[in-house]
A and B are shown apart, each in its own frame.
Chain A
Amino acid sequence: MSRIRYFARETWANIRRNLTLTFAAILTVAVGVMLVGMGLMAGYASGNALDRWEGGVQFEVFMDPQIDPSQIDALGLELETHPEIDRIEFFSSEEAYGLVSQQMADQPELLAQVSPEALPPSYRVVPRSVEAELIESLAAQFRQRPGVMSVQTGREEVDAIRTWFTSFQGIVLLLSIVLAGASVMLIFNSIRVAMFARRREIEVMKLVGATNSFIRFPFMLEGMLHGLAGGIIGAIAAGALRGHVEGLFSRSDILAFFRSFVVTSSQFTTVVFVTVIAGVLVGMLGSAFAASRFLDV
């Protein structure tokens, strides 16, 4: 009992005495772990978005414009009756020309070079599954059919976005490592200052036979609390960021991709867990360095 009271009292006294440095340490930890959380969430959200992306959910089969219309109908029937396909939509050459002329309305000289007959008629296919891999293999089945000019899935766009997010995550992680280093050094210093302020007590403790671990414990606890506080603040900030970004993107009409740019609650639990643990680890590391450096018998 006396032991617990002692540790609580000494740790609190240290934190109070050393308020500015404590705040600096806690805030650095908070920003650092928030970045960790941000990187993790970006990874989760982009993964989720790519898995369910509408661009990945459908693919287009472009027919050769020269072939017999009956062949086009036959393929349409095959697509429609395929067990893994939900529904299809047909765009004739004329409809394709309509779309193109809409898009090129302000460039009439370009449009003049396009004739409706040169544009391939196409089927827009919506499979039952939303798994990107299954869609890819389904699309491949139709690629070799006679009369099919090409099949386009969202695969290339998906890959491009994935690459973009991977490098974004890399940058965020790099920044968070830099900040983690800064946090360790700040906690190291704030613990060193705390030890210096209490050098008399430490001297007396050694004199009367307090063990090293007993002397170190309040300082380690202090560093750990810095890390924990920073971790919790960082997790809260990450939560706020999640809410903000999801709110922003859920209204996004321009980028369909971002509509499913969300982090599930179980993934967010992992994020909170990781950020808090990262904070505590950083705190323990900094204070352990300080304790081993400045508290020898």
Chain B
Amino acid sequence: MIRFDNVTKIYKGETRAVNDVSLNITKGEFVFLVGPSGSGKSTMLRLMTCEEKATTGNIHVAGKDLSKLNSWRVPYLRRNIGSVFQDFKLLPNKTVYENVAFALEVIGRPDGVIRTQVPAILELVGLQDKQRRFPDELSGGEQQRVSVARAFVNRPLILLADEPTGNLDPDTSEELTSLLDRINRTGTTVVMATHDQTIVNRMRRRVVALRHGELVRDEQRGAYGGEPEHGPAPDDAAPGDAPPAEPRDGTGS
């Protein structure tokens, strides 16, 4: 679903944001992208949505070679990718319903689809009773759920979340992560960049760690900081939570 082959991204001024990263994420996986600020997590996500072009190396997303993608095709790629951000990026002058409907409207979906899909997705995120509210009337957790609803309403193949819990308290963060988990169970590939250790350690999903733009660790059912630092016995962490994707890719590290 997402494949990086020796990808390097150098911003102007010689900053090596991503350095020779190879990574393969298969359909239906849930991947945590971890690492300190400036380690290249956000750049990785921006490379996947074609907001940035790789300096060298190849990126494939949803079957498309991004280096060969015409710029007019980029919007169509993005329709397969939902994005969630730390600052929600909701439109303050639109209601919850309108914010979600907007995502379908601007890609030209017919009225009928909008009328059925928007309430359905709001029910999925548990906001069916707050459709007429404006974003500033909601709590942070609710706002982030609206933004997840907006990202997912078009049923994308991939959901990218850049520090989605960065502005939320621990309980709300947990709720949001379990929402992403439920979305992942519908077969959607989820990539979540975070430095929220609690969540990563509790979920026990694939962890890809970056440092100074380099991929330093890639393990299935991993923990945030690797085994030696945080060791609450990895085995007992929700064994029933087996991810749908089996660890069969050998790329990385």
Instruction: Digitize B80-121: 1 where CB-to-A-CB distance is under 8 Å, 0 elsewhere.
Output: 011100000101100000000011011111110010000000
Q: Which of A1, A6, A201, A209 has the most CB of B within 10 A?
A: A209
A3 interface contact, C-beta 8 A: yes
> A215 CA to B105 CA in the complex, in Å?
11
B89 touches A208 (CB 8 A): no
- Hey, which chain A residues are within 8 Å of B79, CB to CB? 208-209
> A275 CA to B102 CA in the complex, in Å?
38
CB of B88, distance to nearest CB on chain A (Å) = 10
CB of B220, distance to nearest CB on chain A (Å) = 30
> A166 CA to B230 CA in the complex, in Å?
89
A208 touches B150 (CB 8 A): yes
The segment out of B2-10, B70-78, B210-218 that lies at the interface is B70-78
B150 touches A200 (CB 8 A): no
Q: Which residue of B lies closest to A1 (CB)?
A: B111
> A214 CA to B74 CA in the complex, in Å?
13
Across the interface, A209 reaches (CB within 8 A) one of B75, B89, B92, namely B75
> A34 CA to B81 CA in the complex, in Å?
51
A203 interface contact, C-beta 8 A: yes
- Hey, which chain B residues are within 8 Å of A203, CB to CB? 89
B154 interface contact, C-beta 8 A: yes
Q: Which of B72, B79, B81, B106 has the most CB of A within 10 A?
A: B106
- Hey, which chain B residues are within 8 Å of A297, CB to CB? 71, 74-75
B102 touches A204 (CB 8 A): yes
Within 8 A of B (CB), among A186-201: 200-201
Instruction: Digitize A236-265: 1 where CB-to-B-CB distance is under 8 Å, 0 elsewhere.
Output: 000000000000000000000000000000
A205 interface contact, C-beta 8 A: yes
| Interface majority SS (helix, strand, loop, mixed), chain A | helix
B111 touches A207 (CB 8 A): no
Within 8 A of A (CB), among B33-77: 49, 71-72, 74-77
Within 8 A of B (CB), among A173-228: 200-201, 203-212, 214-215
CB of A194, distance to nearest CB on chain B (Å) = 15
> A297 CA to B106 CA in the complex, in Å?
15
Q: Which residue of A lies closest to B153 (CB)?
A: A208
Across the interface, A207 reaches (CB within 8 A) one of B76, B78, B105, B109, namely B78
A208 touches B72 (CB 8 A): no
- Hey, which chain B residues are within 8 Å of A206, CB to CB? 75, 78
A212 touches B72 (CB 8 A): yes
What is the number of residues of chain B that contact chain A, defined by CB distance less than 8 Å? 28
Instruction: Digitize A1-43: 1 where CB-to-B-CB distance is under 8 Å, 0 elsewhere.
Output: 1110010000000000000000000000000000000000000
- Hey, which chain B residues are within 8 Å of A210, CB to CB? 75, 106-107
- Hey, which chain A residues are within 8 Å of B151, CB to CB? 208
Within 8 A of B (CB), among A149-180: none
> A212 CA to B71 CA in the complex, in Å?
10
B108 touches A207 (CB 8 A): no
CB of A29, distance to nearest CB on chain B (Å) = 29
Q: Contacts A211-B75, A297-B74 hold; do A201 and B91 have CB atoms under 8 A apart?
A: yes
CB of B224, distance to nearest CB on chain A (Å) = 28
- Hey, which chain A residues are within 8 Å of B154, CB to CB? 208-209
> A241 CA to B183 CA in the complex, in Å?
68
Instruction: Digitize A73-106: 1 where CB-to-B-CB distance is under 8 Å, 0 elsewhere.
Output: 0000000000000000000000000000000000
State the 8 A-B residue pairs at the shortest beta-carbon distance, nearest first. A209-B78, A209-B79, A210-B106, A208-B103, A209-B75, A211-B75, A2-B111, A205-B106
10 more contacts with CB within 8 A, not counting A204-B106, A208-B102, A212-B72, are: A1-B111, A6-B105, A204-B89, A204-B91, A207-B49, A208-B78, A208-B150, A208-B151, A211-B76, A214-B107
A-B contact pairs, 28 of them (CB 8 A): A1-B110, A2-B105, A2-B108, A2-B110, A2-B111, A2-B114, A6-B106, A200-B89, A200-B92, A201-B102, A204-B106, A204-B150, A205-B106, A206-B78, A207-B49, A207-B89, A208-B107, A208-B154, A209-B75, A209-B76, A209-B107, A211-B72, A212-B72, A212-B75, A214-B106, A214-B107, A214-B108, A297-B75
- B residues sitting closer than 8 Å to A (CB atoms) are 49, 71-72, 74-79, 81-83, 89, 91-92, 102-103, 105-111, 114, 150-151, 154
- A residues sitting closer than 8 Å to B (CB atoms) are 1-3, 6, 200-201, 203-212, 214-215, 297
